[in-house]
């Protein structure tokens, strides 16, 4: 499997653009898969620079319905006229952080023949699966919440992140998890994948949603990952640079920042 990060908060290569968002391109089983689209057309501009033809993508997977992961969907639809788009129905519900709208573009229109609503485990190639995120307890949901309400609700309620999903690549080496923001908790996600596939997780790529976490919470994740002993961990986006530095110091595995333009072969 080949992974190319098209959009991230950090960029190091001349000619590429960065933004607060995430978009990851994968080549696996002779399939081309796009995981999220960032918050604008930046993913497409970077794809051209990196030699990735978005018009040839076979599947677009939406990790969850926040603007920084879905903002480029309209650009994707303009460029790619045939790919299916895989998302949970809840991804298109309105979402807020306080009073600020952080959901998908209310004006986004996806043709009915292009959208596939997913649940549980959905196989998109011989070895690549879309997995619905683990259910959380009420306390866990509160801790991971960004805040969610609909226009009909005047009271802010907890967002249980029913729309979150992630990718799992199954190989002889073990499982590779590609996650968007891990709102449901990276520990919960790794534990769920291990239980579902009865295989160890050997690679984790994506955002950990740890940029605002206290040291004690970061320590719990570091201790857990040390026990899992993955071969590689590529953090990015909502992980935060401070958290990345903490994990870099505490973990003995190959941990790196998965910046825009980074290419990974597994």
Among candidates 232, 239, 190, which has minimal Cα distance to 218? 239
Q: Is the pLDDT confidence value at 145 over 90?
A: no
Q: Is the pLDDT confidence value at 257 over 80?
A: yes
Q: Is the pLDDT confidence value at 201 over 70?
A: yes
pTM over 0.75: yes
Q: Distance between CA atoms of 48 and 116, rounded to whole angstroms? A: 27
Q: What superfamily would CATH give domain 2-265?
A: Ribonuclease Z/Hydroxyacylglutathione hydrolase-like (3.60.15.10)
| The dihedral sign for the CA sequence 89, 66, 181, 29 | positive
Per-domain boundaries in the chain: 2-265
Question: What b-and-e string marks burial along 48-85, b requiring 16 or more CB atoms within 10 Å of the CB?
Answer: ebbebebeebbbbbbbbbbbbbbbbbbbbbebbeebeb
pLDDT at 237: 98
pLDDT at 137: 61
pLDDT at 140: 57
Q: Distance between CA atoms of 80 and 55, rounded to whole angstroms? A: 4
């Amino acid at each position: 499997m080949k992974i190319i990060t098209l959009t991230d908060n950090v960029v190091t290569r001349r000619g590429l653009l960065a933004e607060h968002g995430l978009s990851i391109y994968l080549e696996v089983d002779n399939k081309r898969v796009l995981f999220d689209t960032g918050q604008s057309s930046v993913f497409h501009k970077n794809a051209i620079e990196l030699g990735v033809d978005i018009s040839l993508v076979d599947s677009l997977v939406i990790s969850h319905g926040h603007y920084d992961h879905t903002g480029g969907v309209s650009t994707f639809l303009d460029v790619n006229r045939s790919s299916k788009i895989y998302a949970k129905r809840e991804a298109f519900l309105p979402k807020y952080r306080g009073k600020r709208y952080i959901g998908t573009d209310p004006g986004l229109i996806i043709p009915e023949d292009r959208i596939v609503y997913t649940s549980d485990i959905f196989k998109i190639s011989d070895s690549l699966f879309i997995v619905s995120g683990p259910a959380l307890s009420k306390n866990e949901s509160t801790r991971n919440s960004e805040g969610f309400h609909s226009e009909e609700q005047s009271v802010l309620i907890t967002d249980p992140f029913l729309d979150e999903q992630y990718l799992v690549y199954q190989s002889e080496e073990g499982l590779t998890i590609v996650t968007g923001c891990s709102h449901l908790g990276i520990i919960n996600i790794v534990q769920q994948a291990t239980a579902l596939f009865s295989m160890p997780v050997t690679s984790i790529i994506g955002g950990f949603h740890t940029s605002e976490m206290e040291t004690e919470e970061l320590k719990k994740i570091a201790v857990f990952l040390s026990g899992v002993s993955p071969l590689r961990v590529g953090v990015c986006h909502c992980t935060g640079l401070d958290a990345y530095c903490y994990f870099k110091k505490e973990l003995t595995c190959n941990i790196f920042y998965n910046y825009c333009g980074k290419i990974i072969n597994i």
